[in-house]
Structure 1
Amino acid sequence: MTPFATRNALPRLMAALLLAAVAVPWPARPEEESVEKKWAERDAWQHPAEVMDALGVKPGSVVADVGCGDGYFTFHLASRVGPGGKVYAEDVDIKVLGKVSARAFKEGVTQIEAVEGVKDDPGLPDGALDAVLVVDAYHEMEKFDAMLAAIDRALKPGGELGIIDRKTEPGQPRTSYLEHHRIPPELVREDAARNGFELLRDAPGFKVPDKSREYFFLIFRKPLTPQGLKPQGFRTTGTARLPTRIVGTGSAVD
């Protein structure tokens, strides 16, 4: 699917946006208050600013939130990149994209563009992105090789891919990880390497003890050269260590 093929979904996206906008009159919608509370609780353990720092997201960056869900990271990314940057909020669910678009419109956040992806292609523009973030969504990808290949095409040379997901032990069938909404980091590393990505950093993840959930955080890079060959004098980046977050309270997303 070409990046512009997603524009064919614009009428459906607009319909979803209108439904999201008129479902409950503004202001003071209970749904919005619930989302704000959930996001504030998530900030306490997810530390989105440090995630964006680790991916090198800065003002003017062009990034994508693949599997954006309710838009938690989408809006954090939009705040970081500013009006001079761009955030592609991608999901296969047109309804959640409608809600993200409605919120962006209400708040005047013009740097967010909603993109309806499909199972094997997020529909992102080729060679345009500085970074892609996939949070709590990689385990859901049935066409993971095709998705990684599409993300590779969308990234600039040297662009980074961050994958945060719920950790589990290896050794189970792939369908089991999809069913239980978690995945071993070892399997993600194998998938990424097979699709040409370099492991840049294995950063400490996030723990939410009261929910018995532990998240890993892997950062990959698209090679600077087509075959991943390093130019003469290239220096490999060292392992960066982020502080492990252990929080007694807070809620996580599925």
Structure 2
Amino acid sequence: MRHRLVAVAAITTLAAVASVAAQQPASLRQAIDAAVAAPSRTPANSARDKYRHPAETLAFFGVKPGDTVVEIWPSGGWYTEILAPLTKGKGTLYAAVPSGNAKGVEALKAKDAALYGPIRVVSFPAAAGQAKVPDGTADVVLTFRNVHNWRMGYQQGGQDYSPEAFKQMYAMLKKGGTLGIEDHRLPESASDERETKSGYIKVSTVRRLAEAAGFKFVGASEVNANKADTADWPNGVWTLPPSYALKDQDRAKYAAIGESDRMTLKFRKP
């Protein structure tokens, strides 16, 4: 019976993914493909498309050129290099950065003011008095490989602040708006303790946090899955590329595995 229930759940999830994909117009995918192919992208970043599948990921999330898009913690701007040309002249792009850490976005602005200058930089999670995304204004909020950081208390003295992070993302979205999450996937059978040390996080944990904040689960995509990643490396997810925490030790082995196995989840604000 248990196996039958698992099979039914898997079929239901695949059906949800297929349904979402079927709703994407060809013009949307063309706009995303053009942004991914933009000549302004850094060649080293483009080389990682084979691991990160940006066109398929953004199409799954339904990001449109005219949207108000919030990128949570863009860091060096890997996805910013795609979202900026996608929304330029049509939508609005926010870069929500940890307080006082906008170096990546500022570097892009200095490099190409015409393309990256319009990006609105705000704080996240925003404390009282800090610039933030106005409540109820975003069509899409995206965060790539960050929920595990919030669980680990990164930049917050080791204290888990993921509930507050989801609360703030919920507030910034319009009704009907989309939350798109990609993160390193920890097997459900792993201990909860590994979520605070390995850089991986369980799908069930992400869903619990999102649904506790009020989000409704829409569907999941396996576009960023990597079956070669067993998620049990000596230095956590940072053992794999691009970090290579062990430096030259077994580097060829980890290069052959590639970047981590990742969940790609879509939620909606009712």
Same-fold status (TM-score > 0.5): yes
Q: Which residue of structure 1 aligns with residue 93 of structure 2?
A: 87
Where 2:141 maps in the other structure, the secondary structure is strand
Q: Which residue of structure 1 aligns with residue 237 of structure 2?
A: none
TM-score w.r.t. structure 2 length?
A: 0.63
Give the direction of change, closer, same or farther, for the CA distance of 1:42–1:119 in structure 2 (3 Å limit): farther
* Structure whose residues are more often strand by fraction: 1
Deviation at 1:93, TM superposition (A): 5.8
- The separation in 2 between residues aligned to 1:137 and 1:119, in whole angstroms, is 16
Q: Which residue of structure 2 aligns with residue 22 of structure 1?
A: none
1:132 aligns with 2:137: no
Say if 1:119 and 1:147, in contact at 8 Å, map to a contact too: no
Q: Which residue of structure 2 aligns with residue 101 of structure 1?
A: 106
Give the direction of change, closer, same or farther, for the CA distance of 1:173–1:119 in structure 2 (3 Å limit): farther
Where 1:219 maps in the other structure, the secondary structure is strand
Q: Which residue of structure 1 aligns with residue 269 of structure 2?
A: 222
- The separation in 2 between residues aligned to 1:149 and 1:215, in whole angstroms, is 23
Q: Which of the numbers 190, 194, 198 marks the counterpart of 1:180?
A: 198
1:149 aligns with 2:163: no
Where 2:66 maps in the other structure, the secondary structure is coil
Q: Which residue identity does 1:94 align to in structure 2?
A: G
- The separation in 2 between residues aligned to 1:120 and 1:41, in whole angstroms, is 37
Give the direction of change, closer, same or farther, for the CA distance of 1:197–1:54 in structure 2 (3 Å limit): same
TM-score w.r.t. structure 1 length?
A: 0.67
Deviation at 1:196, TM superposition (A): 1.0
Q: Which residue of structure 2 aligns with residue 199 of structure 1?
A: 217
Q: Which residue of structure 1 aligns with residue 61 of structure 2?
A: 55
Q: Which residue identity does 2:266 align to in structure 1?
A: I
Deviation at 1:88, TM superposition (A): 0.9
Deviation per residue, 1:189-231 (Å, 9 max, x gap): 11111111111111114145423620010000000xxxxxxxx
- The separation in 1 between residues aligned to 2:182 and 2:203, in whole angstroms, is 9
Q: Which residue of structure 2 aligns with residue 65 of structure 1?
A: 71
Over aligned residues, Cα RMSD in angstroms?
A: 2.3
- The separation in 2 between residues aligned to 1:123 and 1:129, in whole angstroms, is 12
- Aligned pairs, number: 187
Deviation per residue, 1:56-83 (Å, 9 max, x gap): 2112210111121111112211111122
Say if 2:51 and 2:259, in contact at 8 Å, map to a contact too: no
Deviation at 1:172, TM superposition (A): 2.4
Q: Which of the numbers 95, 107, 111 marks the counterpart of 2:118?
A: 111
- The separation in 2 between residues aligned to 1:212 and 1:177, in whole angstroms, is 18
- The separation in 2 between residues aligned to 1:99 and 1:190, in whole angstroms, is 31
- The separation in 2 between residues aligned to 1:120 and 1:164, in whole angstroms, is 25
Deviation at 1:180, TM superposition (A): 1.0
Q: Which residue of structure 2 aligns with residue 46 of structure 1?
A: 52
Q: Which residue identity does 2:218 align to in structure 1?
A: L
Where 2:105 maps in the other structure, the secondary structure is helix
- The separation in 2 between residues aligned to 1:72 and 1:94, in whole angstroms, is 19
Say if 1:120 and 1:146, in contact at 8 Å, map to a contact too: no
Say if 1:85 and 1:111, in contact at 8 Å, map to a contact too: no
Give the direction of change, closer, same or farther, for the CA distance of 1:168–1:194 in structure 2 (3 Å limit): same
Gaps of 5+ in 1: 1-34, 224-254
Deviation at 1:119, TM superposition (A): 7.3
Where 1:49 maps in the other structure, the secondary structure is helix
Give the direction of change, closer, same or farther, for the CA distance of 1:202–1:94 in structure 2 (3 Å limit): same
Q: Which residue identity does 2:63 align to in structure 1?
A: V
Where 1:89 maps in the other structure, the secondary structure is strand
